[in-house]
């Protein structure tokens, strides 16, 4: 029996190292995609990287063995060879998974490198055990231990460098260094282990060394695995470039770039110009189209709008869909004047009619504009400024554009601050109710009161309802506030009755939100029951828009309240939707003439409108109340037209409870 070491072919050693390093680089390329994905896609990238690295390591190992020169024939056990491949892929998956986690402490990186190094070593010894030959392998375990330590150390360095390029999918020198260290870990461990191994064989077989004979199956397997490694790498790159990237960066409905595409665009292209404009575009009343015609029609409309926006901007401009009916347009190298012209063109294009499945649709847009660098030098600041300008366009009547300025910013900041404080105002008892009299100008008596809400802010003083009511409506806070107000007003009215101060109905303005849940009857009934007030001393004021919105449900709720005696008045009549055709169907006791007509009552047209409203109310057996009365001339005109009940500063401004008591005494005495 003879004992001998193994000799190497230098070029094959170099080839095997190149194979391992190339596999490592390809795997790291794939793993870099992990940080831009989540869920199943994230695991798919990890598995792809592990398959490429694991199969590359495995192929390098058997290429190195097959290139050795031995004086005897060698074949391979296919089962053990496959097990070694699976061990290699599994250890690579665990190592890459640990290295790609968001928490990358030093110990985690060390464990990842150790796992990779030990996995390579286990794969090596299982692969060696797959050799079937008339010889026995003897290991120098001290040298074998050193080879394992080298594998673990080199793998750790390679994994440690991963932090330098983990989110960078393109070429990076740190990625190259990492791949070289991983290649060194694999080939170093393999060749040191082989060098420290001795083969004991029968000398009668001869002493002339020759290239190791290999199984055709194994050689074919190594070739296929190498091709698989290259195929996975190439396929993953193709998938990333042509499929996943489009899925990740484009909106599937409109095929416009999405938020991720927007972020990438601003990182790379937009700020390379001296100036630029950002447009926030939001469709007006798009929800009503979705609700009435269905989401399929709504989606088709969004596709049409997206096409028009693309055609509205120059070739340099980019259009993005942020979600829902929100779009963003970026125009690099753009002045304020050019941005305003572009906004006008966008509004004109969007408001043209749409023909979708036999439906002729009309929709308008509101636009907010911010300019770079005046309003910001980063994406977040510009989007925030454009969004603030968009709110201004919405608040000023829609189908308009606004360019951001600092006054808008102050307004928006105040609005956000008020919204935050409004959420606590009810619990902190910051609301108060004031009452404005309704006066019968012929009988000279109070015939009713209107309850109005006021907010005593601890820092800003009295906040106008014009400012905080829209916020309460938008956030839904108006519902608990109105519930509170109903009980307070009913209780106060009951106290006036018991004290003999007043014996009139008090009206409260209702929000459309109060009708949404279908529980208005229960809320009103509870307030009346708790306070003990008779139902006919409570009046609910609704606007025309509330009456016409979901009219059938609204009428049903009001009819139920009318049956128990609660009164209903239609506020601001003549300024909302044209509801003359349905007015007789709405259970209303009183029509209130809006103060805009009273204020301009000297105009012949306004006088004619007032006269017609009074005539309509008379023919429908409804009472009439004129709002905003301030002069004797207005009183005389209204009386001549047949209106006797009036409300306004001439008779009394909105007053808190303690002032109203004195007002009752003075006016009753007179």
Over residues 507-521, the mean pLDDT reads: 88
Place of tokens 């919204």: 419
Measured in degrees and rounded to the nearest 5, phi and psi for residue 452 equal -125, 140
Contact 554, 547 (CB under 8 A): yes
Output the furthest CA–CA distance in the chain (Å, rounded).
139
Q: How confident is the model at residue 205 (pLDDT cuts 50, 70, 90)?
A: very low
Over residues 611-629, the mean pLDDT reads: 90
Does position 69 have pLDDT exceeding 60, yes or no?
no
Q: What is the pLDDT of residue 48?
A: 74
Measured in degrees and rounded to the nearest 5, phi and psi for residue 646 equal -135, 160
Q: How confident is the model at residue 492 (pLDDT cuts 50, 70, 90)?
A: very high
CB neighbours of residue 105 within 10 Å: 9
Distance CA 459, CA 667 (A): 35
CA 9 remoteness from chain centre? 60
Kindly report the pTM of this predicted structure: 0.56
Kindly tell me the number of DSSP H helices and DSSP E strands found in the chain: 24, 23
The H or E element containing residue 605 is helix 604-619
Over residues 65-80, the mean pLDDT reads: 65
DSSP structure string for 407-458: HHHHHHHHHHHHHHHHHHHTTTT-EEEEEEEEEETTTTEEEEEEEEEEEEET
Distance CA 55, CA 47 (A): 12
DSSP structure string for 462-501: EEPHHHHHHHHHHHTTHHHHHHHHHHHHHHHHHHHHHHTS
Q: What is the pLDDT of residue 30?
A: 66
Place of tokens 């303005």: 509
Does position 97 have pLDDT exceeding 80, yes or no?
no
Query: What is the tens place of the pLDDT at every residue in 245-269?
Result: 566 678 888 889 888 888 888 877 7
Which of 114-118, 181-185, 631-635 is modeled with the greatest confidence? Answer: 631-635
Higher pLDDT, residue 66 or 625:
625
Structure tokens at 87: 């061990």
Distance CA 408, CA 402 (A): 10
Distance CA 394, CA 381 (A): 20
Query: What is the tens place of the pLDDT at every residue in 75-93?
Result: 667 778 788 878 877 877 7
Cα→Cα distances 642→301, 610, 613, Å: 50, 10, 10
Does position 437 have pLDDT exceeding 90, yes or no?
yes
Does position 572 have pLDDT exceeding 90, yes or no?
no
Query: What is the tens place of the pLDDT at every residue in 122-164?
Result: 877 777 777 776 667 766 677 677 777 766 776 666 666 666 6
CA 139 remoteness from chain centre? 61
Contact 320, 262 (CB under 8 A): yes
Give the domains, in start order, of the chain with CATH numbers: 7-246 (no CATH), 259-404 (3.30.70.270), 422-668 (3.20.20.450)
Place of tokens 């909302």: 576
Q: How confident is the model at residue 171 (pLDDT cuts 50, 70, 90)?
A: low
Distance CA 112, CA 95 (A): 5
CB neighbours of residue 419 within 10 Å: 15
Q: Please, what is the average pLDDT of the chain?
A: 80
Over residues 503-512, the mean pLDDT reads: 92
Structure tokens at 129: 């055990």
């Amino acid at each position: 029996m003879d004992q001998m070491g193994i000799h190497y072919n230098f070029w094959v050693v170099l080839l095997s190292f190149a194979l391992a390093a190339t596999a490592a680089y390809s795997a790291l390329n794939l793993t870099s995609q992990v940080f831009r994905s989540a869920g199943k896609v994230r695991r798919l990238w990890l598995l792809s990287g592990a398959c490429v690295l694991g199969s590359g390591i495995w192929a390098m190992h058997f290429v190195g063995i097959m290139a050795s020169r031995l004086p005897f024939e060698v074949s391979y056990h296919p089962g053990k060879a496959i097990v070694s491949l699976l061990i290699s892929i599994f250890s690579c998956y665990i190592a890459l998974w640990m290295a790609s986690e968001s928490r990358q402490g030093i110990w985690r990186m060390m464990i990842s490198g150790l796992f990779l190094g030990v996995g390579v070593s286990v794969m090596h010894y299982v692969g060696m055990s797959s050799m079937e030959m008339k010889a026995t392998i003897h290991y120098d375990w001290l040298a074998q231990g050193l080879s394992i330590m080298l594998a673990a150390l080199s793998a750790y360095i390679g994994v440690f460098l991963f932090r330098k390029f983990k989110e960078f999918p393109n070429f990076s020198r740190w990625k190259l260094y990492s791949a070289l260290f991983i290649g060194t870990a694999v080939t170093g461990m393999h060749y040191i282990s082989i060098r420290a191994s001795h083969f004991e064989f029968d000398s009668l077989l001869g002493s002339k060394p020759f290239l190791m004979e290999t199984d055709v199956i194994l050689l074919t397997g190594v070739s296929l695995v190498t091709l698989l490694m290259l195929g996975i790498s190439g396929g993953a790159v193709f998938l990333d470039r042509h499929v996943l990237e489009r899925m990740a960066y484009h909106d599937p409905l409109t095929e416009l770039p999405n938020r991720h595409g927007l972020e990438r665009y601003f990182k790379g292209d937009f700020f390379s110009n001296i100036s630029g404009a950002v447009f926030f575009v939001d469709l007006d009343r798009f929800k009503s189209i979705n609700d009435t015609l269905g989401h399929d029609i709504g989606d088709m409309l969004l596709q049409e709008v997206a096409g028009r926006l693309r055609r509205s901007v120059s070739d340099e401009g980019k259009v993005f869909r942020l979600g829902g009916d929100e779009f963003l347009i970026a125009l690099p190298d753009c002045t304020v004047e050019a941005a305003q012209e572009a906004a006008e063109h966008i509004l004109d294009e969007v408001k043209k009619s749409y023909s979708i499945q036999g439906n002729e649709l009309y929709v308008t847009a509101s636009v907010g504009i911010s300019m770079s660098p005046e309003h910001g030098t980063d994406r977040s600041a510009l989007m925030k400024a454009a969004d603030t300008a968009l709110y201004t366009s919405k608040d000023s009547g829609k189908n308009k554009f606004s360019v951001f300025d600092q006054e808008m910013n102050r307004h928006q900041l105040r609005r956000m601050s008020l919204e935050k404080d409004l959420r606590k105002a009810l619990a902190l008892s910051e609301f108060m109710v004031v009452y404005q009299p309704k006066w019968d100008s012929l009988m000279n008596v109070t015939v009713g009161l209107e309850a109005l809400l006021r907010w005593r802010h601890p820092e800003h003083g009295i906040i106008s309802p014009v400012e905080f009511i829209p916020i309460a409506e938008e956030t839904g806070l108006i519902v608990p506030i109105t519930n509170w107000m109903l009980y307070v007003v009913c209780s106060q009215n009951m106290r006036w009755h018991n004290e003999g101060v007043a014996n009139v109905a008090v009206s409260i303005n209702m929000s459309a939100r109060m009708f949404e849940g279908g529980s208005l009857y229960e809320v009103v009934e509870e307030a009346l029951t708790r306070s003990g007030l008779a139902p006919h001393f409570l009046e609910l004021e609704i606007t025309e828009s509330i009456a016409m919105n979901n009219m059938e449900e609204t009428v049903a709720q009001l009819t139920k309240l009318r049956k128990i005696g609660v009164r209903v008045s239609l506020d601001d009549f003549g300024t909302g939707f044209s509801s003359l055709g349905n007015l007789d169907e709405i259970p209303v006791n009183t029509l209130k003439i809006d103060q805009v007509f009273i204020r301009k009552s000297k105009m012949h047209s306004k006088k004619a409108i007032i006269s017609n409203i009074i005539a309509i109310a008379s023919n429908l057996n409804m009472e009439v109340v004129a709002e905003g009365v301030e002069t004797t001339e207005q009183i005389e005109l209204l009386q001549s037209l047949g209106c006797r009940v009036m409300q306004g500063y001439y008779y009394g401004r909105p007053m808190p409870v303690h002032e109203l008591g004195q007002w009752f005494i003075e006016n009753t005495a007179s």
